[in-house]
Amino acid sequence: MYNQTILMHVSDAASLLGVSSQTIYKLINGGELKAFKTGKAWKISTQSINDYTNANLNK
């Protein structure tokens, strides 16, 4: 068995969190949201989204 990682584009993450793509880029650049770049596109794992939302639930 393997651990499947689901990746999404910035626009998908923005849609999921209900924010703009620009906000996602700011979160990535500020180190609040983990992501990596492949070519010119940023990829964000669902685990990274979960970690970010769990860390910010009580703010």
pLDDT in tens, 1-56: 556 789 999 999 999 999 999 999 999 999 999 999 999 999 999 999 999 999 99
**Considering only CA atoms, which of 27, 34, 30 is closest in space to residue 50?**
34
Task: Give the per-residue pLDDT at 46.
Answer: 94
Q: Extract the tokens encoding 12.
A: 């998908």
Q: What tokens appear for 2 in the block?
A: 């393997």
Phi, psi of 45 (to 5 degrees): -85, 155
Contact of 42 with 10, CB cutoff 8 Å: yes
* DSSP 8-state assignment for residue 35: -
pLDDT at 24: 98
What pTM value is reported for the model? 0.87
Angle separating helix axes 10-17 and 21-29, nearest 10 degrees = 100
